[in-house]
């Protein structure tokens, strides 16, 4: 046996990675490029994919040394963190896009017409349309009455800020309605019937009416 020279450092071979770092990054890019990750069930789909990846990693770990198993687990955890950051960034982008987009369109329409459209959509079970038109009716009605400025490029929250000054007692309801408007229109979150009813009820309250759509 050849004696080892103590002056020469001994390097251990790198543990086998399953998958390697480059392969892990490639897998992540390929997986997130699938159109299914643009659906509303993004988190659920990612969880399912991670479950499959973890099962495959556990099965492969049985055939590799302990160091290789540990490396594979570390890579898997890094993938989980990367996906979490991507999901968080996508949600922030959706919120930012909603904050920048005008709440009112170029359509010339009265508050009464918007209200009728909202009620018709509610009756037909189109709760997203009902909530969006209800919020627009609420804002346009106060523009018609001179309570807030007519700002065509105003976002939902800019309109809510003006409404909050005029109606301080209802400010929290106005802000919540603006949040719902952005979430439904720009965040792909479906509205419920109760949420649409709440925005219609707020329109009634700010207009001085006490009746509520049933």
Q: Domain segments of the chain: what residues?
A: 21-100, 111-207
What pLDDT digit, counting tens, does each position of 22-67 carry? 666 666 666 656 655 555 455 566 667 666 766 665 555 555 566 5
pLDDT at 68: 59
pLDDT at 166: 92
Over the chain (214 residues), what is each successive 10-residue block's mean pLDDT? 53 51 63 56 64 62 58 69 64 52 76 95 96 94 89 85 93 95 88 97 86 42
Alpha-carbon span 7 to 26, nearest angstrom: 40
- Count of C-beta atoms within a 10 Å radius of residue 206: 20
pLDDT at 17: 46
Residues in the chain: 214
Helix and strand tally (H, E) in the chain? 8, 0
Among 75, 45, 43, CA closest to 57: 75
CB distance 4 to 10 below 8 Å: yes
pLDDT at 211: 41
């Amino acid at each position: 046996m050849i004696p080892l020279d103590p002056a020469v450092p001994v390097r251990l071979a790198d543990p086998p990675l399953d998958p390697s770092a480059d392969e892990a990054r490639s897998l992540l890019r390929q997986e997130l490029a699938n159109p299914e990750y643009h659906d509303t069930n993004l988190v659920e789909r990612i969880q399912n994919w991670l479950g499959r990846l973890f099962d495959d990693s556990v099965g492969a770990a049985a055939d590799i040394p302990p160091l290789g198993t540990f490396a594979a687990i570390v890579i898997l955890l890094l993938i989980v963190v990367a996906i979490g950051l991507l999901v968080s960034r996508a949600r922030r982008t959706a919120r930012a896009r909603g904050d920048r987009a005008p709440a009112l369109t170029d359509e010339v329409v009265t508050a009464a017409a918007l209200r009728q459209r909202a009620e018709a959509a509610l009756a037909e079970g189109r709760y997203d349309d009902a909530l969006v038109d209800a919020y627009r009716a609420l804002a346009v009605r106060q523009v018609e009455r001179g309570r807030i400025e007519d700002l065509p490029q105003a976002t939902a929250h800019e309109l809510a800020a003006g409404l909050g000054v005029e109606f301080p007692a209802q400010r929290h309801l106005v802000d919540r309605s603006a949040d719902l408007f952005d979430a439904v229109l720009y965040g792909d979150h479906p509205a419920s019937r109760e949420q649409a009813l709440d925005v219609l009820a707020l329109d009634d309250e700010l207009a001085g009416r006490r009746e509520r759509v049933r």
